[in-house]
Amino acid sequence: MVLTYRYRIKDATCGRHLRRQAREVNRVWNYCGEIHNAARRHNKRWPSGFDLIKLTGGSSKLLGLHSDTVQAVCKQFAISRDTCGKRPRWRGRKSLGWIPFQASRALRVQGDAVTFLGRRYRLWLSRPLEGRMLCGAFGEDARGRWYLNLQVEILEDDKHGSGEIGIDLGLKSLVAISTGEKIEAPRLYRKHERALAIAQRAGRKPRVRAIHARITNRRKHFLHELSTRLVRENRRICVGNVNSCGLARTSLAKSVLDAGWSLLRSQLRYKATRHGAEYIEVDERFSTQVCSACAARGGPQGREGLVVRERVCSGCGARHDRDINSAINLLVSGRNVGLQQTVIPSVYGGEDVKPTDLQPQTSYHGRS
Ligand SMILES: [Zn+2]
């Protein structure tokens, strides 16, 4: 599978070379934009990536860029334009620096340094550089720090645990697991809100950027640790498909964005693939309302029902924690999805067994 690794560059001295190159990259990008505009004015078809590469041919030496970089910029311009259906924005002084290239041709790795266009860039080797490199880019973040992003093809291994879990994503507790475990949300944004407000009122932009970066980094770190642990312990992970984009437009927005649901889900997805575990996204409608012991409906509903954290089932009298109950339901429906998707193992035996005939292993043991 292909992963993108990110290494911090020791940019105290070489940063200015990267910044210069990034300016030239912007120039190429804006040139592509102008060509696009001109073609449209003359009622011609949009120039393709190849057209742009042809038009920029031979300019790399003049610009002081790698020829690969110029080509990659043209290609990316065409891709971005075709996906959004219009000319992408101009790149200017405020755009974050970006220098793409084809790794195998342009980059040479020696120990903890890479050579690009005849210049050595030393890295903080946060993890060893290994695997087949596909392509990459130098990138700048909001604080002006430079990173090397490399797409690397790595082997999948199949070390994974034996458990099965359903995960309910929430705001009160970030993650409720069907095993009964609950993990509180770190609420990093809320913790830094005061400091952020002070810095913003004082107009101290670097400080604001630093606080935002700190929040992002700490959230990422927390979610990485969590997702790695979950994937190591389990072979099947079922997560509800909460629509975080939709919720981010409501009054819950700050908390929703602070929780980082989508980040956690994407981490679980690629880590599960890497470790040979199964990752299933389940429709989570009714998952809070259904009783996980007897499958009777009748739990709390809607936004008003959010305050109900615990309830007693009217059907079987079982006492449920709202989130854990929902997580168990997600696991149950995840198993059903898994049965329909995967080839049925031979343990089920019999002739012409259709997936729908199989009784899924549900926890609806109370049903009669
Ligand atoms: Zn019940």
Tell me the pLDDT tens digit for each residue of 237-289: 999 888 777 777 778 888 888 888 888 999 999 999 888 888 999 888 888 88
What pTM did the predictor assign? 0.79
Q: Give the number of other Cβ atoms within 10 Å of residue 105's Cβ.
A: 11
Q: What is the pLDDT of residues 189-206, one digit of tens each?
A: 989 999 999 999 999 999
Taking only the tens place, the pLDDT of each residue in 39-95 is 999 988 899 999 999 999 999 999 999 999 999 999 999 999 999 999 999 999 889
Tell me the CA–centroid distance for residue 321 and ligand 1, in Å: 12
State percent of the chain over pLDDT 70.
Answer: 89
User: Average pLDDT over the chain, rounded to whole?
Assistant: 85
Query: Which band of pLDDT confidence, cut at 50, 70 and 90, is reported for residue 309?
Result: confident
Express each pLDDT in 22-33 by its tens digit. Answer: 999 999 999 999
Residue 342 is classified by DSSP as S
Nearest to 272 by CA among 125, 127, 163: 163
Ligand 1 centroid vs 312 CA: distance in angstroms? 8
Q: Rounded to an integer, what distance in angstroms lies between the CA atom of residue 319 and that of residue 308?
A: 13
Locate the domains of the chain by residue range: 2-153, 163-180+219-348
Tell me the three state secondary structure of residue 60. Answer: helix
Report how far ligand 1's centroid is from the alpha carbon of 315 (Å): 5
Whether 346 shows a pLDDT value over 70: the answer reads no
Ligand 1 centroid–CA 364 distance in Å is 9
Q: Which helix (H) or strand (E) is 189 found in, with range?
A: helix 188-201
Instruction: Out of 107-111, 144-148, 302-306, pick the least confident.
Output: 302-306
pLDDT (0 to 100) of residue 315: 79
Q: What is the pLDDT of residue 349?
A: 35
CATH code given to domain 163-180+219-348: 3.30.420
| Contact predicate 282/333, CB 8 Å | yes
Q: What is the pLDDT of residue 240?
A: 87
Distance from the CA of 304 to the center of ligand 1, in angstroms? Answer: 21
Query: Could you tell me which residue, 95 or 354, shows the higher pLDDT?
Result: 95
| pLDDT at site 335 | 86
| Ligand 1 geometric centre to CA of 197 (Å) | 47
Asked if 275 and 157 count as a contact pair (C-beta separation under 8 A), the reply is yes
Find out whether 360 and 336 touch, Cβ atoms under 8 Å.
Answer: yes
- Specify the higher pLDDT residue, 245 or 14: 14
